[in-house]
Chains A and B, each alone.
Chain A
Amino acid sequence: MSEDIGQKNTKLVRKLALVAIAMFGFGYALVPLYDVLCDLTGLNGKVEGQAVQEVAYQVDNSREVTVEFLTSLNESTPMLFRSEVKSMKVHPGEYYTVNFYAKNTTNMPMIAQAIPSITPGLAAEFFKKTQCFCFTEQTFAANEEKTMPVRFVVEPTLPERYKTVTLAYTFFDNTNISKK
């Protein structure tokens, strides 16, 4: 009888341990799942990390959308970072360029990455950039100041209910990570 139970236990424990290991894997699987889900639904305001080809749209002069620009620095990234204007009124379908200024305030070279985010999240897919400093890492010499243009268009298909779209950039100091 005890032999029986011993075998049954071993089998069951093996199965349950497998479940535990599988759930550990499931935790990791949530990472790509989350990205896929956000890609499909555009829930989290993530924007495409690549430039799009400039295509001509039918400009919708009948309505204006306010585009706001926010700049911020992650933790204690030693930079100055601002946009040329705080906000602008745009017509959907028309291309605009806005300048951003960033300065490395240290006397060491720095590699930094800007991460964009768009609010409301569901408007992100209608906001296209043909040029942006956020597509690649930016290298700054000691104390270097850069002017970085962003060229964007709000697609005319943007639903009427979105009157304001906020584009936020956060600069992250990646010097230590990128050097490796």
Chain B
Amino acid sequence: MTAVVAEHDDHHDHHDHGPEKGVLRWIFTTNHKDIGTLYLVFGLIMFFVGGAMALVIRSELFEPGLQFVDPNFFNSMTTMHALVMVFGAVMPAFVGLANWMIPMMIGAPDMALPRMNNMSFWMLVAGVLLLASTLFMEGGAPSGGWTFYPPLVFQNGKSFPFAIFSVHLLGISSIMGAINVIATIFNMRAPGMTLMKMPLFVWTWLITAFLLIAIMPVFAGAVTMLLTDKFFDTSFFDAAGGGDPVLYQHIFWFFGHPEVYVMILPTFGVASTIIPVFARKPLFGYASMVYATGAIAFLSFIVWAHHMFTVGMPVAGELYFMYATMLIAIPTGVKVFNWTATMWKGSMTFETPMLFSIAFVVLFTMGGFTGLMMSVAPVDFQYHDTYFIVAHFHYTLVPASIFILMAAGYFWLPKWTGNMYNEKIGRLHFWLSAVSVNILFFPQHFLGLAGMPRRIPDYAIQFADWNMVSSIGAFIYGFSQLLFVYIVIDTIRGGTGEKVSDEVWEDASKHSLEWTVPSPAPYHTFSTPPARIPTEHF
């Protein structure tokens, strides 16, 4: 056993006998699979918390006028929905996948820094609880938008410093997680697992981890400046003291734009893992996928001000950020064509993970196209801060990141549990999701183009019809996700009763190492390095 844990911690001397019993197993665990499970379960719970907030929003917007909640609470809901989904659901879920899969994919016994791994998970929980506590504070939860723009953010009540500290905790947790991922990939790869033989999920996570280390500290700095502006009389963003509120927007989006790729790059990685297995072909253009990921990551640092076209910039600035943003379409297009080419003439079968992945390719491309529309600075003046942008980023997050997380769940559940999930209910979940997500978000394009602003609890009656359609879609989508919870629990308890093979999916072991270990994956895998490195993905 090469695990570093065993040397320094007597507590884990009996690790060869499997996990501890009882709840302490989960609190003190340093096992990458346990921590992965914790992250995934936490992410799923937060997905429903954030989803419930979204349903509050869609209920209020079902009809014009104020029905259910007061405007301040409505604004809290839009703000908290974003924060919970980004920092509580999507990011932790991908960290969970990274924990579970990266060591198994590169033939390592565990993550490089198991105890730090435990700490980053519990810090995440602390951060999210702190954030959730603001809901019960005087003045309500943060309601100035997840971007925390000053001076609006200073109007939050007691919740303001708590939200900032929560961001600090979430940031530290992400940075530690990212350091762990990099250390694992750099130092723990099995002999023969060269960088260019790594599965693409590992590659995308490696690049994501570098993004996180570069941006989370900048965000921490920006919110710290907000904190000192409010309580210690600094004037970073206060014009009265010589500061500039626009400066905050620059710093925020220097973080914020790479942040959206933190959520989408691992998505690309999972899609690139699933599609070849069900197309029964190697991934088309492996190397170009790696370089495209790198290119997207690099470009993400130099396009931030496209979020600020209407804030005021000289023409030269608008043009630069416009063209730089359009460049991102090239590596992203490379990816979309590669996925399509992987499917081309493949012996495709349409199990649930593949269905979600194909829907991802189609619907993410639509989200990408609206992004391209908005990169055009002069027309962005029409789209800015309307429901069009809401539709755009939800298309890149819900039928992309969330769909792929669901796909990943179906894809690896048999490996995690040793049981097969119920394919029929899985497909029902897929079709309900794929149809309702479009009922939910597609009309928002129309609303945005017609001029409906985002973040408002009430609207002009001309927007009534499409809002109603969108809300109906939201409820179908929201409640159909409960099917996923049912399937996960059912699969853990035995699923269809059919015992799955080690490779679960036909020839999956040619693609990646995790399919060479038994199902369910034993508590400790690759205590000795694998004998053979799969090279199917070339």
Contacts and interface: CB of A to CB of B under 8 A. Distances in A.
Contacts of B175: 20
Contacts of A172: 238-240
B218 A43 contact: no
B112 A9 contact: yes
B239 A13 contact: no
Interface string A60-76: 00000000000000110
B221 A28 contact: yes
A57 to B, nearest CB: 26
Contact of A122 (B218, B225, B314): B314
A12 B2 CA distance: 18
B35 interface: no
Interface residues of A, number: 41
Contacts of B244: 34, 38, 44, 46
Contact of B254 (A5, A17, A19, A30): A30
B179 interface: yes
Contacts of A113: 240-241
Interface string B313-330: 110010000000000000
A172 B396 CA distance: 41
A38 B314 CA distance: 11
A180 B233 CA distance: 10
Given A2-B7, A30-B254, A113-B240, A23 B218 contact: yes
B3 interface: yes
Given A13-B179, A31-B247, A115 B317 contact: no
B246 A20 contact: no
Given A74-B240, A115-B240, A30 B251 contact: yes
Nearest to B116: A13
A24 B7 CA distance: 34
Interface in B178-234: 178-179, 182-183, 186-188, 213-222, 225, 233
B113 interface: yes
Contacts of B182: 12, 16
Interface residues of B, number: 43
A67 B113 CA distance: 64
A89 interface: no
Contacts of A20: 175, 179, 213, 216-217
Contacts of B240: 74, 113, 115, 172, 174, 177
Contacts of A16: 178-179, 182-183, 213
Given A34-B250, A174-B240, A44 B217 contact: no
Interface string A22-59: 11111110110010001001011110010000000000
Contacts of A12: 182-183, 186-187
A163 interface: no
Contacts of A122: 314
A21 B100 CA distance: 28
A44 B246 contact: yes
A13 B247 contact: no
B187 A2 contact: no
B520 interface: no
Interface string B1-33: 011100100000000000000000000000000
Contacts of A30: 218, 247, 250-251, 254
Nearest to B220: A24
A104 B220 CA distance: 39
Given A27-B222, A43-B314, A172-B239, A6 B213 contact: no
Interface string A121-160: 1100000000000000000000000000000000000000
Nearest to B221: A27
Interface in A160-180: 170, 172, 174, 177, 180
A27 B239 contact: no
A110 B244 CA distance: 23
Contact of A21 (B217, B238, B250, B313): B217
Contacts of A115: 239-240
Nearest to A137: B240
A82 to B, nearest CB: 19
Q: Count chain A CB atoms within 10 A of each CB in B3, B246, B247 and give the residue with the most.
A: B247
A20 B168 CA distance: 13
Interface string A92-134: 0000000000000000000001010000011000000000000
B48 interface: no
Nearest to B219: A27
A99 B251 CA distance: 38
A27 B220 CA distance: 8
B165 interface: no
Interface string A1-16: 1100110110011001
B4 A9 contact: yes
A25 B222 CA distance: 11
B187 A9 contact: yes
Nearest to B1: A2
B299 to A, nearest CB: 18
B113 A9 contact: yes
A2 B254 CA distance: 39
A37 to B, nearest CB: 10
B2 A1 contact: yes
Q: 5 tightest CB-CB pairs across the interface, nearest first? A: A27-B221, A172-B240, A24-B217, A23-B217, A27-B218
18 contacts: A5-B2, A5-B4, A5-B187, A12-B183, A16-B183, A23-B214, A24-B220, A24-B221, A27-B217, A27-B218, A28-B225, A31-B236, A34-B244, A44-B244, A44-B312, A115-B240, A170-B239, A174-B241
Given A20-B175, A21-B217, 12 more contacts: A1-B2, A5-B187, A9-B112, A13-B113, A20-B217, A30-B218, A34-B247, A41-B314, A43-B317, A74-B239, A121-B312, A174-B241
Interface of B: 2-4, 7, 112-113, 151, 175, 178-179, 182-183, 186-188, 213-222, 225, 233, 236, 238-242, 244, 246-247, 250-251, 254, 312-314, 317
